[in-house]
DNA sequence: CTTGACCCTGTAGCGGCTCCAGGGTTCATG
DNA sequence: CATGAACCCTGGAGCCGCTACAGGGTCAAG
């Protein structure tokens, strides 16, 4: 196992996370502060890479930073039950389903308005639908 | 037509918009500043009610404040063509469809993780899927 | 020695509100 | 007339999750 420290730029590339975002994660204590070179440059190790990839996967799945904090602390206690993770997933899945339902209703309304071409504003059903109470 | 001025609280009730939000809309010049009583209380008229309802309908449809600004200025020129409104709706509909597609993919991933019950973190497929690269 | 790529800190901004502190006003009741 | 509740005012901070500076320092190649 090689464990030679890497710079923030390399960590960004390996994890697919923006440098500014990495520093932000450090500030909000989501990613632990790494060692520094004498010049003050951050030096990350494999643990950081793994942790940041975990965070990124979680964000890609739409979990909030707080949820990810919980998932990370779960991941650090392998002997404990995983019910907390399950509840997080279930709750988030419900969020996502609600959002999809809301957006689908919206899509329907917008489709009803689309392609109102060649009119003048006075006869425009888009503007009409916004004015009508 | 009665046009007796109303307070911000009444405007909030008639339009379904929070008082703080109304003041915010005034600050960003989305709603024109109303008259004031000698004591400095805002006094709205029917025009404000109509305009704020327009704004709210637009927000409910998911339009950005900037888009609503455009729609409002269109609505004020009834003799002009409504192609701008049409393009706004089409663009926003595309946004909404993209979001639905993204969320649907997400839903699929989350459904694949859900109901991982009764395990211990070490065997949890939720945590696993976040750790795996 | 200079250039350019990288790194640092600290702060401000995005959208669209929402909430708060710390006051002033108005009106009905006692 | 005093008191209280319900309303109103301003200005500023906070929410989320970044992102974008400004204004510097560091390091290796040519
Ligand atoms: Zn969620
Ligand atoms: Zn039209
Ligand atoms: Zn849109
Ligand atoms: Zn599990």
B33 in the same domain as B17: yes
Contacts of A35 (CB under 8 A, 6+ apart): A5, A42, A43
- Residues with CB in 5 Å of ion ligand 4: A 82; B 116, 119, 124
Q: What is the pLDDT of residue A4?
A: 87
Task: State residue B115's pLDDT score.
Answer: 87
- Boundaries of domain holding A109: 83-133
Residue A103 dihedral angles phi and psi, to the nearest 5°? -70, -30
CB contacts under 8 A, B 37-76 vs A, are 50, 53-54, 57-58, 61-62, 71, 74-75
Contact A85 B126 (CB under 8 A): yes
Ligand number nearest CA of A122 is: 2
Considering the domain architecture, whether residues A91 and A58 belong to the same structural domain is answered as no
At B30, the pLDDT band (50, 70, 90 cuts) reads very high
CATH number at residue A57: 1.10.1660.10
| A71-84 residue pLDDT tens | 999 999 999 999 99
Q: Is the pTM of this model over 0.75?
A: yes
Say yes or no: B68 and B96 in one domain. Answer: no
Contact B106, A93 (CB under 8 A): no
Residue B10 has pLDDT above 70, yes or no: yes
User: Could you report the per-residue pLDDT of B96-112, keeping only the tens digit for each?
Assistant: 999 999 999 999 999 99
Rg (CA), chain B: 23
Task: Examine the domain organization and report whether B106 and B130 are in the same domain.
Answer: yes
CA distance A35 to A6: 10
Extended strands (E) in chain A: 35-36, 42-43
Same domain, A41 and A13: yes
């Amino acid at each position: 196992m090689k464990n030679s420290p890497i710079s923030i730029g390399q960590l960004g590339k390996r994890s697919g996370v923006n440098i500014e975002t990495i520093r932000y994660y450090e500030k909000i204590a989501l990613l632990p502060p790494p060692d520094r070179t004498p010049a003050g440059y951050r030096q990350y190790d494999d643990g950081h890479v793994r942790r940041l990839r975990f965070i990124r996967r979680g964000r890609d799945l739409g979990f909030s930073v707080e949820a990810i904090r919980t998932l990370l602390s779960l991941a650090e206690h392998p002997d404990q039950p995983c019910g907390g993770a399950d509840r997080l997933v279930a709750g988030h899945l419900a969020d996502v389903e609600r959002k999809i339902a809301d957006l689908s209703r919206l899509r329907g309304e917008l489709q009803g308005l689309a392609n109102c071409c060649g009119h003048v504003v006075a006869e425009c059903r888009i503007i009409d639908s916004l004015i009508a109470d």
